[in-house]
Amino acid sequence: MLELGQIKINIQDVPADEKEHLREYASQKLKIKAEQMRKFEIYKRSLDARSKPDIFYIYSIRFLSDDEETILKKNHYNKNLRQVKKPIMYESKLTQIRGRDDERIVVVGSGPAGLFCAYALSLRGLRPVLIERGAPMEERVGEVERFWESGELNEEVNVCFGEGGAGTFSDGKLNSGVKDKDGTKRFILETFVRFGAGKDILYDAKPHIGTDVLRSVIVNMRKAMEKQGVTFLFHTKYVGVEKQGDRVSGVWVKQGALRDTIPCEHLVLAIGHSARDTFDKLKEQRIEMRPKPFAVGVRVQHRQSDIDRAQYGQVKNDKHAGQDVPGGVAENAGNNVPAAYYKLTGKTEDGRGVYSFCMCPGGYVVNASSEPGHLVVNGMSDVRRDSGYANAAIVVTVDPGADERNAVSDGSEDADVFVGVVYQRQLEKNMYQVADGKIPVQRYGEFQSLAMDHPDKDSKQDVNNNENTAVVSGKVRVTGLSSNQPSVKGQWTYADVASALPEEIRTAVCEAIDQFGKKIQGFDADDTLILGVESRTSSPVRIVRDDESLESVSLPGLYPCGEGAGYAGGILSAAMDGLRVAERIGERLMQ
């Protein structure tokens, strides 16, 4: 297989039939006929804005040929042409396992970890049962939209719980820094494409499905798995694990008011980072867990046009350049430039790490609450990323074993293992109270002034969503909002976000935004919006497992898996961990 890299094409010159354009380019560059290239594919595509306002795509392409040695000799001067090994296919691990129908496998949770674990097992001829406390996608979407409109929370069906997991209402990013040595990442991406995602996720440097597309992909995947023999049980809540001797023998579940036991010898816990009641059940049954670091902070929102200009400059054919037009360059006629993205890192004066997390170009800030009396936000965007506004979490690293332990300790026996959960809950309770259950919004100019002035925790002022009303909050007078209007899913109100955060977090957020303003012009503008709180960047608890078998160190046959168990941090890494657990179960069944 040959790979030709560093193909640089101005983004304005890329035609609709991108693949054929590159095939023609490569054949001319290598002085060969197009038909000599078999299985031609775009291998990588990244955006290069270093020469702004000229923006380029940088491609790598791969193909097979019967004349590879001849082509290499003919183009020996081309340092960007090389011969590569045929990639390892993950499918080679999916050997059939027969005659083991008597050993039932139950997977708890239908997020990416649980879904891909069950999918891989089904491809090996096994028929796992997948239980999910929430609703199937068709019902879940309607329930979430009802919550956003009314504010009435369903504790079992929401942005965190239901088919697809929390990632269903997110940006749908598929980033991972893990090298794909065994084809696992490629398998996951190809699976998404097989069930309806765009083919560009196979080669984009920053692959993105979009929440609207991801929903249909998951439904298609479920239907295919059911044909393979997988049983999906929705509205079925994990209650506990049944033991026989020193191994798993079943799982206790609750369906409405009914309780039942599902026999199994292999139980996969892919519960997600918000299943706090499940952590309680595990503790009751003496399953070893440990607190782990995580991060908390706020969402920031800018006009997408401002981020586009800061990242791309005055882009060619940008008829809206210099104007405050939602969507910016990404929506201009004849302009192929996607909504601009950023990833930022820094460090505070006291040594805390600060960084942007889950950046959503052209997206929305969503109410992602899952507990009554508590409020948490997340970011979401559709595949087109065309809301006109950009948002990202600006978060601060939290060490649950240091000052946070002292700040939240309530004297309970859970204070050690669940210190991070207690800390998260306190922040979410504060944020709920400061805005009466709505998403609190505050301009950065005011947030910064109040944060540095240590405002009274109970102070808050609201402003009507649709009026430019002047309000007084603390010492700063805020005259309505600019054209940077909240792009949210859920009810919102103007409120004092700063007062709902601990001093160390609000100070760190200000330091971070000021640092990032030196990297992206306007990032620290007064009309940047602050929306809170982003508290569930990852699980604050790790369910301890053996490094080799991936089984709980407390109970053989129990497999902690994915983000909620503390072993992943996003859609792709969670899916990869699900496949890893499926491999271990398969290995055990083949012994």
What are 129-164's pLDDT values in tens digits?
A: 999 999 999 999 999 999 999 999 999 999 999 999
Mean per-residue pLDDT over the chain, rounded: 88
Of 310-314, 339-343, 367-371, 543-547, which gets the smallest average pLDDT? 310-314
Q: What is the pLDDT of residues 209-235, one digit of tens each?
A: 999 999 999 999 999 999 999 999 999
Q: Pinpoint the alpha helices (H) of 151-210.
A: 184-194
pLDDT value, residue 483: 84
pLDDT > 70? residue 316: no
Residue 322 burial (C-beta neighbours within 10 Å; 0-12, 13-18, 19+): exposed
What's the rounded Cα separation, in Å, for the pair 12 and 420?
48
Question: Does the pLDDT at position 197 exceed 60?
Answer: yes
Q: What is the pLDDT of residue 460?
A: 38
- Give me the mean pLDDT over the 352-363 stretch: 95
Q: Among 3-7, 172-176, 216-220, 245-249, whose mean pLDDT is lowest? A: 172-176
Residue 182 has pLDDT above 90, yes or no: no
Residue 247 carries which DSSP code?
E
| pLDDT for the residue 406 | 45
Whether residue 462 is predicted with pLDDT greater than 80 in this model: the reply is no
Does residue 116 surpass a pLDDT of 90?
yes
Give the H or E element holding residue 214: helix 211-227
% of the chain surpassing 70 pLDDT: 88
Between CA 248 and CA 229 the distance in angstroms is 22
3-class SS at 222? helix
pLDDT of residue 99: 62
Locate tokens 């899916």: which residue? 575
Q: How far is 338 from 390, CA to CA, in rounded Å? A: 12
Tell me which amino acid residue 350 is: D
* Over residues 307-325, mean pLDDT: 62
Largest alpha-carbon pair distance within the chain? 76
Annotate 438-467 with DSSP letters as a single string: SEEEEEHHHHHHHHHT---TT------TTS
Model confidence, pTM:
0.90
Judge whether residue 258 has pLDDT over 70.
yes
Mean pLDDT of 172-190: 86
What digits encode the pLDDT tens for the residues 412-431? 445 589 999 999 999 999 99
Q: Please tell me which residue, 553 or 335, carries the higher pLDDT value.
A: 553
**Has residue 470 got a pLDDT over 60?**
no
- Asked if residue 79 has pLDDT above 50, the reply is yes
Percentage, residues of the chain above pLDDT 90: 77
pLDDT confidence band for 476 (50 / 70 / 90): very low
Residue 112 CA to residue 570 CA, distance in Å, equals: 9
